A and B are shown apart, each in its own frame.
Chain A
């Protein structure tokens, strides 16, 4: 009964391919996020959704497209993968009406390690 689960855990693919990472939370939270952790371990927010509505959309290439079919799911689709997309992508959720984790706790998935060759 994992709180925030994301699949796949590991993904190795060639440049130019399209891939998706799925995320589901069973905590009943209203807000979900995608974070990118680069090779230097910097964590940076990419997107957040509150009740299926996009709240935060950082300066991310439009090759990245999040999709939230319902408030328990937030998937990340990446088109035309590039070498620089190699990173660990973390999904997170919070019970937070502002969509930014303020004052509240973020619950993270275990990460999806994407390697682009």
Chain B
């Protein structure tokens, strides 16, 4: 069975500095991996997804993530944080024939 662990429940960065949100997964087969973002009182929005193509995936709003099979990781990064990036981020894993499994979320705070 698949599972996903987001290593930090809260991350705080200053505006203009890099963002790193960490995600490790467990999967018996080749998984699909996603990052979703949830702004306060809003639904979740897909940032990016990995589905066995290029290991470095680019998403919306300057975010990207790298699939590292040897480390079973799918960390989300952005070179320069913006105030509008403050939100909660969810890492999601799915195997063929199985449902999506969401991580517990990481709250990103951006300080001015």
Contact = CB atoms under 8 A, between A and B. Distances in A.
Contacts, number: 53
A4 B43 contact: yes
A110 B98 CA distance: 25
Nearest to B98: A100
A interface: dominant SS: loop
Interface residues of B, number: 21
B25 interface: no
6 contacts: A56-B99, A101-B94, A101-B99, A103-B49, A106-B46, A110-B42
Interface of B: 32, 36, 41-46, 49, 51, 88, 90, 94, 96-100, 102, 104-105
Interface of A: 4, 40-45, 48, 56, 90, 92, 98, 100-103, 105-111
